[in-house]
């Protein structure tokens, strides 16, 4: 495990010193900010417990790491609700979150929030898939309400670059964050329904999306025929489907982004001088991508977290507000 991971026990002496300088103050209460060592006293093994459950789940489900990071993304953006339109029939991984929660409740009852479980699980999922590690900031509380309609503000696969930039900047996330976080699509699966318009009727033109590479289009048309099952699954990154690497960007460079929202980052006229150069940079340097991805995950994990105990709680069951 790399020194930058959030298991402070395996950090070097220098790393420990640095952590003390950067995150020395770990306040609890209304004015709290997130910090790395939030559970060091109350649940010191939290990170290792989550990791064990994830490794076990991965034995029978290679897709689970991708599914878990997506849950964290939706939770950060909108405290999203399992059955709302972008999630219903699409978000997965809830039984594994339940298993993590059960293991943590055994070790330290009532301590670790479900929002923090998702943040920790996202980091472990990326790291175990070959991606970067980072120190996860912790101390979120779970919402006491569940926002069904907020999920409608999530970015959509048909959004153009301008709308994607608006939805991110609305949350103080800039173009680097947008491009880096979209790199989450370097692993995981996607249903045919999210590409059929690009294959057969782009923007209502009855023509394919002209930015889609023609041999990739032929490949996807076989997998997703016009009247096929809209829920059939495809790899988001067919070159290395389960590895966290920079192939998301090298695919986009050759017009093989899966979603319209992926290819927009490079091919939109508005991408010139904004997101396209960032795609180029990450395609050319996996190290640059990894460094930005880690920072952007921290930025995304810091969106309006609930830390005031009067506004939130540690859920006992991640699927329900306590007492409901």
Ligand X SMILES: *[C@@H]1O[C@H](CO)[C@@H](O)[C@H](O)[C@H]1NC(C)=O
Measure the CA–CA gap between 277 and 19, rounded to whole angstroms. 33
> Which partner, ligand X, ligand HEM, none, binds residue 83 by CB below 5 to 8 Å per kind?
ligand X
> Which partner, ligand X, ligand HEM, none, binds residue 153 by CB below 5 to 8 Å per kind?
ligand X
How many residues of this chain interact with ligand HEM, rule: CB under 6 A? 25
Whole-angstrom distance between the N-terminal and C-terminal Cα of the chain?
Answer: 40
| 181 is an interface residue for ligand HEM by CB under 6 A | yes
Angle ∠(99,305,249) on CA atoms, nearest 5: 80
User: Minimal distance in Å, beta carbon 39 to ligand HEM?
Assistant: 23
| 124 is an interface residue for ligand HEM by CB under 6 A | no
Which tokens is 242 given?
A: 């389960």
- Give which of 38, 41, 1, 13 is closest to 23, Cα–Cα: 38
Asked if 19 and 11 count as a contact pair (C-beta separation under 8 A), the reply is yes
- CA distances (Å), 303 to each of 52, 78, 170, in order? 27, 9, 11
- Give which of 160, 171, 198, 175 is closest to 279, Cα–Cα: 175
Considering beta carbons, is residue 130 or 157 the nearer one to ligand HEM? Answer: 157
| 191 is an interface residue for ligand HEM by CB under 6 A | yes
- Of the candidates 58, 72, 74, 185, the residue annotated as catalytic is 74
| Bridge partner list, 138 | 35
Name which position in 261, 263, 267, 286 contacts ligand HEM (CB under 6 A).
Answer: 261
SS (H, E, C) 239-277: CCCCCCCCHHHHHHHCCCCCCHHHHHHHHCHHHCCCCHH
| 286 is an interface residue for ligand HEM by CB under 6 A | no
| 120 is an interface residue for ligand HEM by CB under 6 A | no
| 266 is an interface residue for ligand HEM by CB under 6 A | no
> Which partner, ligand X, ligand HEM, none, binds residue 70 by CB below 5 to 8 Å per kind?
ligand HEM
Name which position in 7, 19, 43, 70 contacts ligand HEM (CB under 6 A).
Answer: 70
User: Minimal distance in Å, beta carbon 195 to ligand X?
Assistant: 14
Considering beta carbons, is residue 187 or 249 the nearer one to ligand HEM? Answer: 187
- Taking CB under 6 A as the binding criterion, the range among 8-16, 53-61, 135-143, 154-162 that sits at the site for ligand HEM is 154-162
- Taking CB under 6 A as the binding criterion, the range among 29-37, 151-159, 200-208, 246-254 that sits at the site for ligand HEM is 151-159
Considering beta carbons, is residue 11 or 114 the nearer one to ligand HEM? Answer: 114
Measure the CA–CA gap between 289 and 278, rounded to whole angstroms. 9
**Which residue of this chain has its Cβ atom nearest to ligand X in the complex?**
204
User: Minimal distance in Å, beta carbon 205 to ligand HEM?
Assistant: 21
DSSP 142: E
- Taking CB under 6 A as the binding criterion, the range among 66-74, 131-139, 140-148, 308-316 that sits at the site for ligand HEM is 66-74
Measure the CA–CA gap between 160 and 211, rounded to whole angstroms. 13
Which tokens is 180 given?
A: 């880096």
Catalytic residue flag (residue 28): no
Nearest 5°: phi and psi at 7? Answer: -85, 100
Which residues participate in catalysis according to the annotation?
74
């Amino acid at each position: 495990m790399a020194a930058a991971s959030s298991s402070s026990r395996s950090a070097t002496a220098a790393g420990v010193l640095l952590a003390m300088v950067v995150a020395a103050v770990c306040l609890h209460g209304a004015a709290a900010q997130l910090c790395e060592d939030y559970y060091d006293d109350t649940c010191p093994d939290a990170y290792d417990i989550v990791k064990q459950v994830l490794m076990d789940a991965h034995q029978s489900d290679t897709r689970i790491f991708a599914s878990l990071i997506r849950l964290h993304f939706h939770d950060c953006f909108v405290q999203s609700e399992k059955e709302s339109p972008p999630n219903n029939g699409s978000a997965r991984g809830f039984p594994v979150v339940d298993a993590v929660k059960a293991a943590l409740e055994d070790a330290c009852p009532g301590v670790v929030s479900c929002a923090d479980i998702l943040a920790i699980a996202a980091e472990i999922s990326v790291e175990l898939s070959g991606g970067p590690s980072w120190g996860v900031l912790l101390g979120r509380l779970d919402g006491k309400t569940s926002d069904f309609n907020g999920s409608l503000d999530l970015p959509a696969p048909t959004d153009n670059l301008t709308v994607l930039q608006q939805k991110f900047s609305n949350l103080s996330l800039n173009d680097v964050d947008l491009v880096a976080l979209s790199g989450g699509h370097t692993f995981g699966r996607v249903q045919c329904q999210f590409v059929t318009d690009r294959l057969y009727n782009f923007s209502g033109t009855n023509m394919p999306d002209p930015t889609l590479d023609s041999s990739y289009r032929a490949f996807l048309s076989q997998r997703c025929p016009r009247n096929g099952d809209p829920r059939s699954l495809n790899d988001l990154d067919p070159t290395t489907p389960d590895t966290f690497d920079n192939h998301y960007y090298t695919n986009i460079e050759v017009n093989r982004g899966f979603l319209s929202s992926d290819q927009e980052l490079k091919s939109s006229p508005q991408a010139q001088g904004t997101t396209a150069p960032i795609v180029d940079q990450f395609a050319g340097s996996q190290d640059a991508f990894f460094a930005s991805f880690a920072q952007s995950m921290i930025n995304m994990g810091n969106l309006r977290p609930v830390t005031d105990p009067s506004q939130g709680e540690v859920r006992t069951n991640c699927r329900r507000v306590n007492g409901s």
